[in-house]
Every structure is written in C-alpha cells, then in structure tokens.
A = this chain, B = another copy of it.
C-alpha cells in the first residue's frame, strides 16, 4: 500500500494490518478491528485509526450505540440500522447529493452523515 507512504508516514506491518482489517469488513468496532490484527497492540490500533481518519483515508461512525465504528472512506454511502437486532446495512443512493448546499446558507458544506433507523426485513415479521 503506497497510500500511507504517500502521506509521509511509514508503512509498518501494524498499519498495513489495520488497513487490511478495515478493508475486509464494514463499519467495524475497535474490538472487531483488533481481532483481525493479531499481535498488534491496542494502542497502535487507536493511533492508526486516528491517523487514517485524520488523513481522510478512513471514517469514524457513530451509529447510536455509543460504540465508535470505522470504515475505509472509499465510497459515499449511508447506513440503515435495525433498532431491534442492531443489524447494519448500507445504501448508496444518497437522497441529498445535490440538495444540501442550498439548504445550508452561510455554511460551507464539506460532508454529511445520514443514518436511518427502523426495522429490518427479518425483524418486521
């Protein structure tokens, strides 16, 4: 991965492990990321996540359960969270791509988050 190098940081195995962990799943908690990075200290995981989020390579999510979650900032999408089972899914069609700038006058919009809560198909029965 040259992404890290390109930003002026060293490409250590620990950092690559965290990036691979993020690439192998979606909206993962710190626990989940750590489980996919055996041998990497938790301190390094926190630091790497901060680094990635700070440089825009990753994104931090707050989906309402208090647990921060992380994902690579590859595409723009939003989350559907089931209030019953906690399942998280995603949808790509952002309903306000071109709609937002007009709403927010006197504010220079950089990005937005949208999370939709409700009941997933399985829990509706």
Task: Determine which of B96, B106, B114 lies in contact with A113 in the assembled complex, contact meaning CB atoms within 8 Å.
Answer: B114
CB atoms of A93 and B103 under 8 A apart: yes
The 8 A CB mask of A39-58 against B (1 = contact, 0 = none) is 00000000000000000000
CB atoms of B112 and A100 under 8 A apart: no
Interface size on A, residues (CB 8 A): 34
How many copies of this kind of chain does the complex include? 2
- The verdict on A110 contacting chain B, using a C-beta distance below 8 Å, is yes
Complex CA–CA separation, A96 to B76 (angstroms): 17
Q: Which of A90-112 contact B (CB under 8 A)?
A: 91, 93, 95-96, 99-100, 103-104, 106-112
Please list the residues of chain A having a beta carbon within 8 angstroms of any beta carbon in chain B: 60, 62, 64, 66, 68, 80, 82-83, 89, 91, 93, 95-96, 99-100, 103-104, 106-121, 124
